[in-house]
C-alpha cells in the first residue's frame, strides 16, 4: 500500500464530510438561505462523485470504512488495505469536522445543537426509534454497496461509476435524513460526533455496526450476483 492511496482516502473523506456536513451545518445557521434536505443530499452526492473522479483512480475511492469492508468481503480488495484505509478515512473525517466547527464558530449565529451528528430517538430529526434507525442504516448501506459493486463491475459501462455512486448517495440521504440524518459511513459519523458532545459518542456504536452489517451483506450477495474480482 502506497502513501498516495492513503492520502487519496484522506482527501476523499475530508471532502465528503466537508461538502455534505459542512453545507448542512452552515446553511442551518441561516434558514432564509438554507439549502434544506434536498440541498444537503445533493451536496453529499456531489462530494463523493467529484472526489471519485479526482482520486478514485489512485485508491479506488472508498472514503468510507463500510465501503472498504464491503469491497473486501465482495472479493474486490485485499484485507491488507483495511487498517490503513480506515485510519486515513477517520483522520480525514475528523479533520473536516474540525474545519467545519472552526468556520461555523466564526459567526455569532452559530449554536452547536446536534452539529449534524447522526442519532436516534431524541436525536433523530423525526424522533425515530433505535430499531427504525438500525434498519434504515443497514438497508441504505446494503443498497449503496450493491450499487458501488455493480457500477464498478467489469461489465458495467466504463467511466460512469462515480455518477451512479453520487446519485445513489443523494437518494439515500433523501430517504434517511429524517430518520438518522444519514450515516451509511462510520467515518462521517465519527467525524461529527467528536465535536457534538457525549450523546453523539454514546450513540456512535450504531453508526459503525449498522453500516458494516449492511456492507458485509452486500459483499456476500455480490459474490453471487456479479461473480468477479476486480
Q: At 102, is the pLDDT very low, low, confident or very high (cuts 50, 70, 90)?
A: very high
- 217: three-class secondary structure by DSSP: helix
Q: At 2, is the pLDDT very low, low, confident or very high (cuts 50, 70, 90)?
A: confident
Nearest to 166 by CA among 66, 87, 48: 48
CA-CA distance, 161 to 66, in Å (whole number)?
A: 18
When mean pLDDT is compared across 28-32, 40-44, 155-159, 215-219, the lowest value belongs to: 28-32
Determine, yes or no, domain membership for 206: yes
pLDDT at residue 37 in the model: 87
Report pLDDT digits (tens) over 19-41.
Answer: 999 998 887 766 666 678 899 99
Residue 213 buriedness (CB in 10 A; 0-12 / 13-18 / 19+): middle
Sign of the C-alpha dihedral, residues 208, 81, 78, 74? positive
pLDDT at residue 32 in the model: 65
Q: At 108, is the pLDDT very low, low, confident or very high (cuts 50, 70, 90)?
A: confident
Determine, yes or no, domain membership for 151: yes
Determine, yes or no, domain membership for 99: yes
Nearest to 82 by CA among 94, 95, 92, 72: 72
- How many domains is the chain built from? 1
- Contact 175/40 with Cβ under 8 angstroms? no
pLDDT at residue 103 in the model: 92
This prediction's pTM: 0.93
CATH number where 212 lies: 1.20.1080.10
Determine, yes or no, domain membership for 230: no
Determine, yes or no, domain membership for 40: yes
What distances in angstroms separate CA 51 from CA 35, 45, 48, 229, one per listed residue?
Answer: 21, 10, 5, 23
Range of the domain at 32: 3-225
Mean pLDDT of the chain: 93
pLDDT at residue 155 in the model: 84
Q: Which three three-digit cell numbers place residue 74?
A: 465482495
pLDDT at 110 over 80: no
Determine, yes or no, domain membership for 81: yes
Determine, yes or no, domain membership for 65: yes
Amino acid at each position: 500500500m502506497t502513501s498516495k492511496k492513503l492520502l487519496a482516502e484522506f482527501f476523499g473523506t475530508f471532502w465528503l464530510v466537508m461538502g455534505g456536513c459542512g453545507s448542512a451545518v452552515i446553511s442551518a445557521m441561516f434558514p432564509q438561505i438554507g439549502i434544506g434536505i434536498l440541498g444537503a443530499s445533493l451536496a453529499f452526492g456531489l462530494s463523493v462523485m467529484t472526489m471519485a473522479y479526482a482520486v478514485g483512480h489512485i485508491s479506488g475511492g472508498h472514503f468510507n470504512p463500510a465501503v472498504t469492508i464491503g469491497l473486501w468481503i465482495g472479493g474486490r480488495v485485499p484485507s491488507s488495505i483495511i487498517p490503513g484505509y480506515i485510519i486515513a478515512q477517520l483522520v480525514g473525517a475528523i479533520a473536516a469536522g474540525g474545519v467545519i466547527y472552526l468556520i461555523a464558530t466564526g459567526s455569532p449565529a452559530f449554536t452547536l445543537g446536534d452539529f449534524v451528528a447522526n442519532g436516534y430517538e431524541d436525536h433523530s430529526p423525526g424522533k425515530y426509534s433505535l430499531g427504525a434507525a438500525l434498519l434504515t442504516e443497514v438497508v441504505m448501506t446494503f443498497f449503496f454497496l450493491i450499487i458501488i459493486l455493480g457500477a464498478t463491475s467489469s461489465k458495467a459501462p466504463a467511466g460512469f461509476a462515480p455518477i451512479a455512486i453520487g446519485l445513489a448517495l443523494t437518494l439515500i440521504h433523501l430517504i434517511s435524513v429524517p430518520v438518522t440524518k444519514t450515516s451509511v459511513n462510520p467515518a462521517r459519523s465519527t467525524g461529527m460526533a467528536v465535536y457534538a458532545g457525549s450523546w453523539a459518542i454514546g450513540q456512535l456504536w450504531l453508526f459503525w455496526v449498522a453500516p458494516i452489517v449492511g456492507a458485509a451483506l452486500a459483499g456476500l450477495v455480490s459474490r453471487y450476483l456479479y461473480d468477479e474480482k476486480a
